[in-house]
Amino acid sequence: MKYPLNAVPLNTLLGEDFFFPHEIIGQPFRTSDFDDLTVSSFITRDGVNLAYWEAGQGQPLIFIPGWSANGAMYFHLMHILSKHYRVYVLDVRNQGLSERVNSGNRISRFAMDVKEFADHLGLSEAHYCGWSMGASVMWAYIDLFGTQGIRTLSIIDQAPSVYCHADWSEEERVQAGAFTTSPERMIASYTQGTATNMLVSGSRVLERAMAMESPYFHNVISLVQAAVNDDMAFTGQVLFDHATNDWRDVIRTKINVPTAVFTGAYSDWLESQRWMSSVIPDSVLQVYTKEEHGDHFLAFKNPQKFAADLRSFIER
C-alpha cells in the first residue's frame, strides 16, 4: 500500500466511487458525496506511518477506534459531526489504512501515538472519544500524560479490565467488566475464529457485530470491506497487552475533565460502565436501550442519536 502523506480524497485511495447498500435520507449514498472527507498520514517518532481521516471545521474532535476498527466505520458519524466540529479519526498502527508493523504493539505505545498525532496537528486542546480498545488507549494516555490537552473525554463501552483474575471477588469482576479467564483463548477466538465458551470468553460482541439491522452499520461495514485489508497477523499483536491491563486506578483517580460514558442494554459490561461513571467527577452516563441499538457498536448503528448526545455533552 502507498500510504497517504497529504490530505487526499477517499475516492483517490479507493480508485473508484463506492455506493452504499442503503440510501439514507440526509446521508451520502456514495463516498464522493462526502467531498470534505480526506485521508492524510504522519510519521511517528519510531518511524510508523499512521493514517487519519478528517472533515469539517470548528473545535477539534478526535476519535480513537477500537480493536481492528478504522476510520471507514466512522463515515456516517463524521458526516453528521463535521457540520459542527473538525473531526479526526486516527487509524492506530496495524489497523485501517495505517502501516503494518511488528513493533510498538502495546497500549502505552498507542497512547504515545495519540500524543504525537495531536502534536502533528498542532493542537493544544481537543475533545477526545475512545471506543472499545480506543478507550483503553485514552486511559493509558491519561496515565502517561495527564489530562492536559483533553477538553472533554467520551468513552464508549469498554471494560476497565478484560481479564478476570482468579482471586477476584464477583464484585471486583463486575466492577472491572472482566469477561475472560484465558486471554490466549479469547484472542484465538477473535483472530482465528477458534471455538470457545462463555466461561472462557463471556462476551456477545461478535454476535452483535454480525447484527446488521441498522442500515447505517451495514453501510459502514460494507465500506470497511471495500477500503481496508485487515491482516490478523498484525492486528492481533496488541490484544494480549490490551486484555491484561487493569485501568481502574486511572479511572478512579486520574480523570479530572468532563467525561461521558456511553453504553447500552446489550453491553456485556454495563455494570462496569455504571461504576466508572460513579467514580469519575463531573461525568454523565448514557445507557441506550435495545431499541436504540444499545450494544458495543451503538455509535455506528445509531449515529444520529449518538452525535446529538455527544454534541449535547460537549456543549453543555
pLDDT, the chain, mean: 95
Half-sphere exposure of 157 (CA within 13 A, CB side): 25
Report pLDDT for 49. Answer: 97
- Does 288 map to a domain? yes
Report pLDDT for 7. Answer: 86
As separate numbers, helices (DSSP H) first and strands (DSSP E) second, the chain gives 14, 9
Q: Stretch 203-214: mean pLDDT, rounded?
A: 89
Window from 70-74, 227-231, 300-304 with minimum mean pLDDT: 227-231
- Rounded Cα distance, 250 and 217, in Å: 32
Number of domains in the chain: 1
- Does 2 map to a domain? no
- Does 1 map to a domain? no
CATH number at residue 54: 3.40.50.1820
Is the pLDDT at 199 greater than 90? The verdict is: no
Which pTM does this prediction carry?
0.96
| Grid cell locating 39 | 485521508
Domain of residue 85 covers: 8-314
Cα separations (Å) of 229 from 24, 37, 47? 26, 20, 21
- pLDDT-derived band at 198 (thresholds 50, 70, 90) equals confident
Instruction: Tell me the pLDDT tens digit for each residue of 228-263.
Output: 999 999 999 999 999 999 999 999 999 999 999 999
Q: Stretch 99-120: mean pLDDT, rounded?
A: 98
Report pLDDT for 3. Answer: 60
- Does 3 map to a domain? no
Report pLDDT for 5. Answer: 65
